[in-house]
Amino acid sequence: MALMGLVGFVLVFVMLIPQCQTFLQGTVSGASAFLHDWAPYSYVLLALIATAPMVSAYLLYTWPPREEPENPMAKYNRETPLDD
């Protein structure tokens, strides 16, 4: 947990570097240009990527619980009498 805090702290200062800001702005503008150039396909792909976690969570919550199989040796186990 402490490592995540350290990484976040370092990332804040990395984001302040002008070269990093220029790189991130170029990446975001390139991604938006890609979305615009491949308009119908890219938006469908983006919608699939965005809805996949919600669909998988829904399947996990609605999946029927696993039923444990009956122990076949249970009928052969006898109760030992308790010594008082």
27-77 residue pLDDT tens: 999 999 998 999 999 999 999 999 999 999 999 999 999 888 888 777 776
| Side-chain half-sphere exposure of 2, counting CA atoms within 13 A | 0
CB 26 within 8 A of CB 34: no
The closest of 19, 43, 49 to 31, measured between CA atoms, is: 43
- pTM, entire model: 0.49
- Model confidence at 82, in pLDDT bands (50, 70, 90)? low
Residue 57, pLDDT score? 96
Domain ranges of the chain: 17-60
CA dist 77 → 31, 41, 71, 74, 81 (Å): 66, 63, 11, 5, 13
CB 35 within 8 A of CB 49: no
